[in-house]
């Protein structure tokens, strides 16, 4: 597609359930990022994929969070045993200039996750 696509756009779940969030980056972009935007907070880096390199998971807040990127394209962010504090907008971004000083990120519209 023309832009970064995320699904679902909204997800309501019960505390303790697992959720999967999907990101479809721009075709040909080798770098993929997941961010989290909590209410009133800035964007928080979660994880970064670049080509076939090992992902940078340094931003994941706990071991309940994991992410995969299959075939260097689509990525799935999984949150196990969700907690109310996981409620946020989860944003995915992709880039073709990973690590460049003028790297430009293209963001999806995000998934609004609400944990009841």
Identity of the residue, 26 or 79, whose beta carbon is nearer to other proteins in the bound complex: 26
Distance, CA of 101 to CA of 90 (rounded, Å): 25
Strands 111-115 and 10-13: parallel
Distance, CA of 36 to CA of 27 (rounded, Å): 23
Q: Which of residues 71-110 bind other proteins (CB under 8 A)?
A: 91, 93, 98-99, 101-110
Question: Chain-centre distance of CA 43, in angstroms?
Answer: 11
We find the least distance from the C-beta atom of residue 24 to other proteins, in angstroms, to be 12
Residue 113 engages other proteins in binding (rule: CB under 8 A): no
Positions touching other proteins (CB under 8 A) are 3-4, 31, 33, 35, 37, 40-43, 45, 48, 50, 56, 58-59, 91, 93, 98-99, 101-110
């Amino acid at each position: 597609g023309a832009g970064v696509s995320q699904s679902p756009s909204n997800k309501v779940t019960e505390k303790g359930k697992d959720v999967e969030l999907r990101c479809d980056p721009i075709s040909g972009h080798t770098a993929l990022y997941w961010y989290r935007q909590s209410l009133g907070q800035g964007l928080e880096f979660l994880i970064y994929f670049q080509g076939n390199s090992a992902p940078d998971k340094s931003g994941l807040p706990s071991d309940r969070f994991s992410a995969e990127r299959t075939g260097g394209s689509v990525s799935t962010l999984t949150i196990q045993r969700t907690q109310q504090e996981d409620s946020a907008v989860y944003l995915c971004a992709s880039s073709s200039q990973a690590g460049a000083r003028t790297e430009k990120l293209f963001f999806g519209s995000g998934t609004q996750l609400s944990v009841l």
